[in-house]
Amino acid sequence: MALMTWDDKFSVGVKVLDADHKKLIAMVNELHDGILSGKRQESLAHVLDQLVKYTQVHFAREEEFFTRTKYPQAAQHKKEHDELIKTAVDLQARSKSGASSMLSLETMTFLKNWLSHHINDIDKKYGPHLNSQGIH
């Protein structure tokens, strides 16, 4: 069963960013399914690598919109991005060093909660601003 399910209430009102969020949710689910089905650590580490890479691509896309439109809450928003990347890179390093327990269901709950909170409480705030600048 999927750990997270996309719901239209997650929409930030910008198509390309909604598509990114859908993809990130799918990747979190893939990692979760891999843990549940007992996939090997190397395989899980590969999925985690892909998830971290895509998260960086997504954050860069949002931040480019912020710069282009002079989004007033950009600095605070970017701080949340930077903190998550720091945590994720640490997770990657630990999983590669063999501390396999790091890629646990607790980790997945953390990622799910972070993503839900970030999209709903932080990302959704930029929707009206980007829309007012012609970005939909």
Residue (45 or 71) nearer to ligand FEO, CB? 71
**Given the structure tokens 């998550």, which residue do they identify?**
84
Residue (73 or 101) nearer to ligand FEO, CB? 73
Q: Is 95 strand, coil or helix? A: helix
Tell me the closest approach of the beta carbon of residue 43 to ligand FEO, in angstroms.
26
Tell me the closest approach of the beta carbon of residue 38 to ligand FEO, in angstroms.
31
Q: Is 4 strand, coil or helix? A: coil
DSSP state of 102: G
Q: Is 103 strand, coil or helix? A: coil
Tell me the closest approach of the beta carbon of residue 62 to ligand FEO, in angstroms.
5
- Site residues (vs ligand FEO, CB under 6 A): 21, 58-59, 62, 77, 81, 118-119, 122-123
Residue (30 or 123) nearer to ligand FEO, CB? 123
Exposure of 85 by Cβ count < 10 A (0-12 exposed, 13-18 middle, 19+ buried)? middle
Tell me the closest approach of the beta carbon of residue 122 to ligand FEO, in angstroms.
6
Dihedral angle, C-alpha 36, 25, 86, 70, nearest 10 °: 180
Residue (14 or 108) nearer to ligand FEO, CB? 14
